[in-house]
Structure 1
Amino acid sequence: MPIDAAMRRWGRRGLLLYALCTLTAGLHLLWVFSRSEEAIAGWAAEGPFSKWWVTSIALSLVWLLAGSFLVLLERGWVRGKWLLTILLFYAVALLYVAMLRERIEYGDAWDYVKAAFNIYHGQPLFERYVYPPFWATFLRLFAALGPKGVVGVCVVMSLLSLLGFYWLLAALLRRYGFSHNLAAVVVAGALLVNVAVQRTLFYAQVNLLVMDLVLILMLALRRWPVIGGGALALAVHIKMSPAVFVLPLLLGRQIKCLVACVVAGLAVVGLTMLAGAGWDYHLNALHNIRNIHTCLPPNEFYRNVSIDNLFLTGAGLGGMDAKLALRLALAVKLAALAGLLMLTVRVVRRRPFLDQAGGEALLFNMTPPLLLIMVIASPYFWDHHPVFLLPAFLPLLPHLRGGRDIFWFAVAWFLLFLLPIFDVYPLAHVRLAALGILATLLAQARGDRAERALSALNPWADRLTAISLPETG
């Protein structure tokens, strides 16, 4: 029997066993948790440093992942060019679900929960909520689950965003010329050991969801511009910084996408207001954003390694006037942004990432420097924010010219994605140096060099699954 047919047969058998186990476990859990608290205690325990709701989420997701793999196996999809992509996806997914099983507190998620219950109770948004009210309003819909239930929603959304991010980032790299296998290896390698991704999940942050929406914009622009515009509108209503992607759409005259973005944005505002967050909450969010430097407790200053905070914290330690420090920070930031705009113009002219004409190529070439602008322009640069830069880093790999470029790429990667979080001023701000390295490497990127590198790397990666399996009886 051919190996493909054997795999499908065992996939069907696995699904039957999976269904039987699911039914048996479901009936047992229903019986256990329908009893009194004293009786439940005899059958189930929370365990040290564990929470039932965290364990339930992790167990449910692992079980669903197992079922989905059996479905793919039965359908005959775990083969060929998708084999390595699928296997590495499950490696990434199972690793992070297992890690989150050991996490019992989710820092930033409680900020989202607090804002959601502010809206639920008709109270102003508390001062730390510096985003548009859409995400808090969405979470308000789950207020009946209680605070822990809403945190659970944040955790699930964060995990699902990671799973989507894997597929979308791999698809993006394929558009940049990576083969299926090479894209899978690069994305899995980037995600498996990554402090920024870990922190994003451990805080149930929305960064991966925002990046999913940005990647949907990029991948959908050519064939489904309306979907791309809607994705950008949602991203901007969750975090305002993706608004920078309006620039390549304007320059590329992507009218359908822009109109869809405006219409979807207005629809989101309308739905947010219908769900209980009127204009006063939008004004409240703007007020919080204007006062963004006053809402952080002192023990969180050092972890925010933005340009603003580099000067603001230094002013506090040195007795300098805070307003003067912010003016100096603004001057440095404007100079950095001016340099990045010049870099963007250079990249657009050279077209190193997608050597084509048209609006889609413009977006693909402008994205890496725009992501840098997104991060540097923000008054916050937290330890989880480097996930925004993954679509800028990974396409650079075939553009590296040799030992020197590889060394500096590795230094920047280490500083942003591998260095453990520590709160020592000004040493923690060494991450800003990585942004300068990334900008320098982007300025040197050339399309012809990438073509030569990919012509060697793609066949190597494709050989990873070029195996000959014996037929089975």
Structure 2
Amino acid sequence: MAQGARRTIGQVGAVVVLAVAVTAFLSVAAARHGFFDLRVYYGALNWWVHDGGEIYDFLKPNTQYGFTYPPFAALVMLPMAYLPWEAAITVSVAATVVSSAVVIGWLVDPIARRSGWTRWFALAVAFCLAAAFEPMRETVNFGQVNMLLLVLVAVDLLRLLPAGSRWAGAGVGLATAIKLTPGIFIVYLLVTGRWRAAFTAMGAAAGATLLAGALFPDASREFWTEALWNTDRVGELAFISNQSLRGVVARLNPEHPNTVAWLVVVLATLAVWAWRSRAAVAAGDEVTGLALTGAAMCLVSPVTWVHHLVWLLPALILLVDNGMAAPARGGRRRLLLAAALVGYAVLISRIVWAWEEDFTGVSGFLGSNAYVWISLALLLGLPIRRWATPTGRGPADRGGPSGSAGQPGGVAHLPEPDRVAPAVQRHRIGGLVAVR
């Protein structure tokens, strides 16, 4: 049998074994939420469309949870009111799976090609590992919209912006109109000097919001004047699932969270984020800018439930990328791959829930905020990669459609001293293709 055929059979077998292992892990570790958030959306939309109520007056029976997104999100989700419940679940899961495949493909495929790995195998392994990622599985089990928002932002930053498209910023704007927190990416565009894309994003967000206001004036008025400011609708700030800086401060004193302390750490975090984001864009490393902004968003948002941490996925993939590109026998490779492994292991472990009932003391402070520490570490320590040019200029400055031949999506080349030739990688492991 030819070597290529044996390798393909081996890779297929490895993917099957990994998929079975992940399935077994999920059967034990994954919490079952019964599509709780999707039930809230579905109930609110049916209450609004079929029962004549106002969408923001709806509360899921026996809970304090109601529809918390802007009116444009209600417009986007409106078809759900005309679907059977089982069909709504199917659409939600399918949309998350497709969005995840697109984002992971954009992040992993250029790396696999640059490193000489078998592309389908690298993507299959990455997708299996993503399925075990707690924020991803929580997104599916709650019926959340996180990956849809991530793909909208990624379209802008990894596809349209490096190519200089006139539509760059529209995806960020639409994501912001659906849910306010991606608005930090508008600030990212401003901080990094992409004025046209920033104004396009603001225009798209404003246009979508005005459209929803024209179609649903009563719902829009209620959201912007009442529902937006009713923090009881989203849950307790000190709840263990709130893995933001606000959650850290709230767990120190749940009865009286120190707002001033929270604002101070938020301002410090934003200062670090702005500095590192500008450095990433100056180096032409747009994907690291995306990853840093996702981590900052998770930190500074008042509420970052565990499922929101899918925004850390780009940063974890980049840690592996940087580690694999470092010299094979060097300490840098070991450090970066160890950091990626630790971060991933923590974020599949549900470790924070061990302190759900009691997060007091030093162990409670450290353990209950474990995911926050991961976000902070990624914001502070994720390497910024330099383009393989004397000037370090990014793709937009070099005039090409993506800044480098065969490197779409703004994924940067690494400096030549830190890169390992694909042929050398294959030789070192006995002719097999390396996999991350």
C-alpha contact 2:47 2:53 (8 A) present in aligned 1: yes
> Structure 1: how far apart are the matches of 2:210 and 2:19?
37
1:408 is aligned to 2:339: yes
Amino acid at match of 2:369: H
SS in 2 for 1:221: helix
Q: Which has the larger radius of gyration?
A: 1
C-alpha contact 1:116 1:137 (8 A) present in aligned 2: no
Equivalent of residue 118 in structure 2, options 181, 187, 194 = 181
Q: Give the C-alpha shift of residue 203 in structure 1.
A: 1.2
Gaps of 5+ in 2: 58-64, 324-331, 389-413
Partner of 2:56: 125
* 1:329–1:153 Cα change, 3 Å: same
Partner of 1:277: 216
Partner of 1:40: none
Equivalent of residue 41 in structure 2, options 97, 101, 112 = 112
> Structure 2: how far apart are the matches of 1:433 and 1:288?
31
Q: Deviations over 1:141-185 (max 9, x none)?
A: 23133555444433332233233333333356469x555636536
Partner of 2:105: 167
Alignment of 1:268-347 (within 5 A): 268-273=208-213, 276-278=215-217, 280-281=219-220, 283-285=222-224, 287-292=226-231, 294-297=232-235, 301-316=239-254, 321-322=256-257, 325-347=258-280
Q: Give the C-alpha shift of residue 367 in structure 1.
A: 2.1
Alignment of 1:375-454 (within 5 A): 375-400=298-323, 401-419=332-350, 422=353, 423-424=356-357, 425=359, 426=364, 427-442=367-382, 451-454=416-419
* 1:450–1:461 Cα change, 3 Å: farther
Equivalent of residue 135 in structure 2, options 184, 196, 205 = 196
Alignment of 1:176-255 (within 5 A): 177=114, 179=116, 181=118, 184=123, 187-188=126-127, 190-217=129-156, 218-223=158-163, 225-250=165-190, 254=194
C-alpha contact 1:398 1:454 (8 A) present in aligned 2: no
C-alpha contact 1:214 1:231 (8 A) present in aligned 2: yes
> Structure 2: how far apart are the matches of 1:299 and 1:369?
24
Partner of 2:397: none
Partner of 1:144: 82
Q: Give the C-alpha shift of residue 88 in structure 1.
A: 6.7
> Structure 2: how far apart are the matches of 1:259 and 1:377?
23
* 1:255–1:179 Cα change, 3 Å: farther
> Structure 2: how far apart are the matches of 1:252 and 1:299?
31
* 1:173–1:377 Cα change, 3 Å: farther
Q: Deviations over 1:194-229 (max 9, x none)?
A: 222111111111111111111111212234724443
Equivalent of residue 93 in structure 2, options 155, 179, 187 = 155
Aligned residues: 370
* 1:408–1:113 Cα change, 3 Å: same
> Structure 2: how far apart are the matches of 1:285 and 1:92?
45
C-alpha contact 1:165 1:212 (8 A) present in aligned 2: yes
C-alpha contact 1:242 1:374 (8 A) present in aligned 2: yes
State, as a whole percentage, how many aligned pairs show the same letter. 20
Q: Deviations over 1:39-61 (max 9, x none)?
A: xxxxxxxxxxxxxxxxxxxxxxx
C-alpha contact 1:346 1:443 (8 A) present in aligned 2: no
> Structure 2: how far apart are the matches of 1:174 and 1:214?
22
Question: Comparing both structures, which one devotes a greater share of its residues to helix?
Answer: 1
Q: Give the C-alpha shift of residue 103 in structure 1.
A: 6.5
Greater mean alpha carbon deviation, residues 121-130 or residues 214-223: 121-130
C-alpha contact 2:173 2:204 (8 A) present in aligned 1: yes
Q: Give the C-alpha shift of residue 429 in structure 1.
A: 1.1
> Structure 1: how far apart are the matches of 2:33 and 2:349?
23
> Structure 2: how far apart are the matches of 1:135 and 1:443?
35
Q: Deviations over 1:15-41 (max 9, x none)?
A: xxxxxxxxxxxxxxxxxxxxxxxxxxx
Q: Deviations over 1:385-421 (max 9, x none)?
A: 2210111221232434143343333322222244456
> Structure 2: how far apart are the matches of 1:314 and 1:130?
26
* 1:441–1:213 Cα change, 3 Å: same
C-alpha contact 2:168 2:197 (8 A) present in aligned 1: yes
* 1:290–1:461 Cα change, 3 Å: farther
Amino acid at match of 1:455: V
1:455 is aligned to 2:420: yes
Amino acid at match of 2:298: V
* 1:241–1:367 Cα change, 3 Å: same
* 1:450–1:429 Cα change, 3 Å: farther
Greater mean alpha carbon deviation, residues 395-404 or residues 379-388: 395-404
* 1:414–1:272 Cα change, 3 Å: same
Greater mean alpha carbon deviation, residues 141-150 or residues 205-214: 141-150
Normalised by the size of structure 1, how large is the TM-score?
0.64
> Structure 2: how far apart are the matches of 1:114 and 1:339?
41
* 1:415–1:232 Cα change, 3 Å: same
* 1:331–1:216 Cα change, 3 Å: same
SS in 2 for 1:129: coil
Q: Deviations over 1:263-292 (max 9, x none)?
A: 543442354346x53264265156433332
Q: Give the C-alpha shift of residue 384 in structure 1.
A: 1.5
* 1:250–1:378 Cα change, 3 Å: closer
